[in-house]
């Protein structure tokens, strides 16, 4: 990439982050190259946990040792089992014909990220770009999501990003109830394999599917809810889930970005990620 387009990219990231935060209290933009396109790690992601102390390009904070961006301490065998399980789910999805969306999809989009994330983002469904590339959140909304992750002091490569639906609904229409019913078992299985410390549900379909409610996103957001990976309330260990606005909604309603940032700061707090004093 040329110096000029590098500079443009940095400026774009800076402006998007500024917009995310409503123009005040702006975390410094991520270093060049630190938060750009996701690695093409379909379904499982072969990357092993990085050495937390090596995370120099990791955003506003230097305090990485006590707050690693990914889960540490898993044996290579455990990590390998996770990768295999995620790849198996992605392969099942690739062959899936359980709902009508298989007829119109270009590629399935199982989701991508490391096998050892502390944090997982769940969106709604692939859009045009995701359907073409087979990767979640790589279009316009994905660029904003990258900025949201960067503002938290994390890199996209440290978090797992997926959707409720693994195939694109024609014209990006809202997922139908029967499509969610057919597809959500893949998502629940992914979340059981990943065992994250926190889940962020982006928008109403993700939050409602994971929490088993019809409550609006405006009412659900802003506080943690118990998510049960077992699929049955009160069975097994719950995972704290923060619903917040979908980045596509934030692109249409930039005035709501401040609320999303409040939600993400609560997630940072929960993960022990340092929030610089001026952003508290």
In the complex, the residues that contact ligand SF4 under the rule CB under 6 A are 93, 96-99, 101-102, 108, 165-167, 179, 182-183
CB of 222 to ligand URA, least distance (A): 20
User: Which residue number, 187 or 242, has a Cβ lying nearer to ligand SF4?
Assistant: 187
Q: Rounded CA gap, 147 and 124, in Å?
A: 18
Taking residues 234 to 263 in sequence order and writing x for each that binds ligand URA by CB under 6 A, - otherwise, the string is --------------x---------------
CB of 116 to ligand URA, least distance (A): 21
- With CB under 6 A, what is the number of residues at the site for ligand URA? 13
Q: Rounded CA gap, 256 and 236, in Å?
A: 34
User: Which residue number, 43 or 123, has a Cβ lying nearer to ligand URA?
Assistant: 123
Name residues contacting ligand URA, limited to 117-156 (CB under 6 A).
Answer: 123-127, 130, 136-137, 139, 141-142
Q: Rounded CA gap, 5 and 26, in Å?
A: 23
Q: From the list ligand URA, ligand SF4, none, pick the one residue 18 interacts with, judged by a Cβ distance below 5 to 8 Å according to partner type.
A: none
Q: From the list ligand URA, ligand SF4, none, pick the one residue 102 interacts with, judged by a Cβ distance below 5 to 8 Å according to partner type.
A: ligand SF4
CB of 247 to ligand URA, least distance (A): 7
User: Which residue number, 43 or 127, has a Cβ lying nearer to ligand URA?
Assistant: 127
User: Which residue number, 101 or 260, has a Cβ lying nearer to ligand SF4?
Assistant: 101
Tokens of 129: 């770009």
What is the edge-to-edge ordering of all strands in the sheet holding 160-163? 160-163, 119-123, 198-202, 239-244, 225-227
Q: Is 196 one of the binding residues for ligand URA (CB under 6 A)? A: no
User: Which residue number, 77 or 171, has a Cβ lying nearer to ligand URA?
Assistant: 171
Own/partner contacts of 58-66, CB < 8 Å, gap of 24 or more, are 58/34, 58/153, 58/154, 58/155, 59/27, 59/30, 59/34, 59/150, 59/151, 59/152, 59/153, 59/154, 59/155, 60/27, 60/28, 60/153, 60/274, 60/276, 61/153, 61/273, 61/274, 61/276, 63/274, 66/272
CB of 136 to ligand URA, least distance (A): 4
Q: Rounded CA gap, 204 and 103, in Å?
A: 25
Taking residues 158 to 177 in sequence order and writing x for each that binds ligand URA by CB under 6 A, - otherwise, the string is -----x--------------
Rg (CA), the chain: 18
Q: Nearest 5°: phi and psi at 95?
A: -100, 5
- Which residue ranges make up the site for ligand URA (CB under 6 A)? 123-127, 130, 136-137, 139, 141-142, 163, 248
């Amino acid at each position: 990439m040329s110096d000029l387009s590098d500079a443009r990219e940095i400026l774009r990231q800076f402006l998007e982050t500024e917009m995310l935060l409503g123009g005040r209290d702006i975390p410094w933009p991520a270093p060049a190259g630190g938060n750009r396109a996701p690695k093409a790690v379909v379904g499982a992601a072969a990357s092993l946990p990085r050495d937390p102390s090596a995370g120099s390009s990791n955003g506003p904070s230097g305090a990485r040792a006590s707050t690693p961006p990914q889960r540490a301490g898993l044996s290579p065998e455990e990590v390998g089992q996770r990768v295999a399980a995620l790849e198996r789910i992605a392969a099942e999805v690739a062959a899936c014909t359980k709902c009508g969306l298989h007829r119109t999809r270009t590629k399935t989009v199982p989701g991508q990220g490391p096998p050892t994330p502390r944090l997982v983002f769940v969106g709604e469904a692939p859009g045009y770009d995701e359907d073409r590339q087979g990767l979640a959140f790589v279009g316009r909304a994905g660029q904003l999501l990258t900025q949201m992750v960067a503002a938290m002091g994390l890199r996209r490569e440290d978090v797992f990003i997926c959707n409720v639906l693994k195939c694109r609904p024609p014209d990006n229409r809202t997922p139908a109830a029967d499509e969610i019913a057919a597809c959500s078992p893949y998502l629940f299985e992914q979340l059981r394999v990943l065992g994250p410390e926190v889940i962020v549900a982006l928008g109403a379909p993700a939050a409602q599917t994971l929490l088993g409610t019809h409550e609006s996103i405006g009412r659900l957001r802003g506080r943690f809810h118990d998510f049960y990976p077992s699929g049955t309330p009160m069975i097994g260990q719950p995972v704290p889930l923060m619903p917040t606005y979908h980045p596509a909604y934030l692109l249409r309603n930039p005035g709501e970005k401040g609320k999303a940032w409040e939600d993400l700061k609560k997630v940072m707090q929960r993960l022990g990620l340092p929030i610089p004093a001026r952003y508290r």
